[in-house]
């Protein structure tokens, strides 16, 4: 943003240019400081600040009724009506959703399913675009993705089969590998915005967030780790808001030894003795937090059987705390109708 674009008296602009201040830097100074630096009078300084503020703000306060257009009230369906009901429509289009759980709980399965459901048109709960899957741990499970694609007509009975066969699912899932933090940051700040800007994708999945942050740092380096984590999370938020894209982050869990802190409720029934990894710093950045567990026993459907899972809402601004049972089948993750 240049000073010439603002409507200011030339005298004020030249004074500001003399102190080499950018428009954003001017707002970070207090009025007396600015007066001293620029040598302008008090009223001139006020004018300067007002012009800079008007240039930096996105829009004036709008009635919430009208901001329905601004804020995307779209939801991305996860592919199963029972789980969508738990999420009141699906993943919110602007904001970071976190899905954590132990290994084998089914997080990657659900993420793959969401990568496919985003490709449907909006009337079927999708966003009519592809997905980018950033994998940090293992190699991407390509065969499982193909199996899910083959099972889409079985999973999505609400969509006409002609539409399903006309969509080329695997073409629109972009896979990125990030082996260390530097390449992860580069991926999120350079390559993914390119895909988003072209409208090719409207879902970003990071599997998993914890892996690189936990492995690259020693326990004593937590300050540096937090700094990197916050930079990464700021990049994700920027992408989510700029392109109105849901971001799904998969997280690992860590053991909880004493639930004496007041962070989470400790219920006597089904007490989780695990908590999402990366601590409070990451928890403050997340808008919707979901957890997935693997339970004992089996459930069966037709000729398939699966260990029952549970998908739980830990916190979200618009969701009640609650959970649904789910099973992982050949065609994907489906919610179970009976309460588990």
One DSSP character per residue, 305-319 reads EE-EEEEEEEE-SS-
| 227 binds another protein per the rule CB under 8 A | yes
For another protein, the binding residue among 14, 18, 36, 62 (CB under 8 A) is: 62
Question: Measuring CA to CA, which residue among 149, 133, 225 is closest to residue 187?
Answer: 133
Inter-CA distances, 157 with 202, 223, 233, Å: 23, 49, 36
Instruction: Show contacts with another protein in window 281-300 (CB under 8 A).
Output: 281, 283-284, 286-287, 289
d(CA 199, CA 158): 26
Stretch that binds another protein, among 76-84, 89-97, 109-117, 137-145 (CB under 8 A): 89-97
- Looking at 128-136, 140-148, 207-215, 257-265, which segment touches another protein (CB under 8 A)? 257-265
Contacts with another protein: how many residues (CB under 8 A)? 66
Nearest in space to 55 (alpha carbons), one of 24, 80, 29, 31? 24
Cα–Cα separations (whole angstroms), residue 173 to 168, 280, 336: 10, 32, 28
Closest CA to 170 of 245, 207, 116: 116
Cβ distance 172 to 131 under 8 Å? yes
Q: Is residue 309 within 8 Å of 105, Cβ to Cβ?
A: yes
Whichever of 41 and 103 has its CB closer to another protein, that residue is 41
218 binds another protein (CB under 8 A): no
Rounded CA separation 1/83 (Å): 45
Instruction: Note whether 56 binds another protein by CB under 8 A.
Output: yes
Bond from prior residue into 208 cis (ω within 30 degrees of 0): yes
Which of 173/192 has CB closer to another protein? 192
CB under 8 A: which stretch of 104-112, 119-127, 311-319, 331-339 binds another protein? 311-319
Tell me the window of 55-63, 173-181, 190-198, 207-215 that interacts with another protein (CB under 8 A). Answer: 55-63
The answer to whether residue 337 forms part of the interface with another protein (CB under 8 A) is no
CA distances from 7 to 17, 21, 30, 206 (A): 15, 17, 21, 44
Residue 29: CB atoms within 10 A of its CB come to 17
Q: Smallest gap, in angstroms, from Cβ of residue 8 to another protein? A: 10
| Residue 264 near another protein by CB under 8 A | yes
Please, which of residues 10-29 interact with another protein by CB under 8 A? 24, 27-28
- Asked whether position 170 contacts another protein by CB under 8 A, the answer is no
Of 314, 326, 328, 336, the one binding another protein (CB under 8 A) is 314
User: What whole-number distance in Å separates Cα of residue 115 and Cα of residue 169?
Assistant: 9
Q: Which of residues 96-115 bind another protein (CB under 8 A)?
A: none
Residues of this chain that bind another protein (CB under 8 A) = 24, 27-28, 30, 41-44, 46-47, 49-50, 52-68, 70-71, 73, 88-89, 92, 94-95, 227, 230-231, 234, 237-238, 240-241, 261-268, 279-281, 283-284, 286-287, 289, 314-315, 317-318, 320
């Amino acid at each position: 943003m240049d000073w010439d674009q603002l409507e200011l008296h030339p005298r004020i602009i030249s004074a500001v240019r003399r102190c080499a201040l950018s428009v954003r830097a001017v707002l970070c100074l207090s009025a007396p400081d600015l007066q001293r630096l620029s040598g302008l009078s008090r009223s001139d300084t006020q004018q300067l600040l007002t012009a800079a503020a008007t240039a930096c703000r996105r829009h004036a306060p709008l009635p919430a009724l009208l901001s329905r257009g601004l804020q995307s009230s779209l939801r991305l369906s996860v592919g199963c009506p029972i789980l969508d009901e738990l999420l009141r429509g699906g993943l919110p289009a602007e904001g970071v959703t976190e899905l954590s759980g132990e290994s084998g709980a089914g997080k990657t399965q659900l993420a793959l399913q969401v990568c496919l459901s985003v490709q449907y048109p909006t009337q079927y709960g999708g966003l009519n675009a592809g997905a980018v899957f950033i994998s940090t741990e293992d190699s991407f499970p390509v065969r499982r993705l193909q199996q899910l694609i083959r099972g889409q007509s079985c999973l999505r009975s609400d969509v006409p089969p002609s539409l399903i066969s006309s969509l080329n699912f695997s073409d629109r899932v972009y896979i990125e590998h990030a082996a260390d933090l530097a390449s992860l940051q580069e991926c999120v700040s350079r390559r993914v915005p390119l895909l988003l800007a072209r409208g090719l994708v409207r879902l970003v999945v990071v599997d998993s967030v914890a892996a690189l942050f936990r492995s690259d740092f020693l326990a004593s380096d937590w300050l540096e780790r937090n700094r990197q984590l916050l930079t990464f999370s700021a990049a994700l938020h920027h992408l989510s808001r700029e392109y109105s894209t849901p971001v799904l982050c998969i997280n690992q869990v860590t053991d909880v030894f004493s639930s004496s802190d007041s962070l989470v409720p400790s219920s006597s029934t089904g007490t989780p003795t695990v908590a999402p990894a990366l601590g409070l710093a990451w928890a403050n950045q997340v808008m919707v937090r979901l957890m997935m567990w693997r339970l004992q026993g089996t459930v069966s459907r037709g000729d398939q059987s699966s260990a029952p899972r549970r998908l739980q809402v830990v916190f979200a601004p618009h969701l009640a705390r609650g959970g649904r049972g789910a099973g992982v089948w050949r065609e994907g993750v489906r919610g179970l109708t009976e309460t588990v």
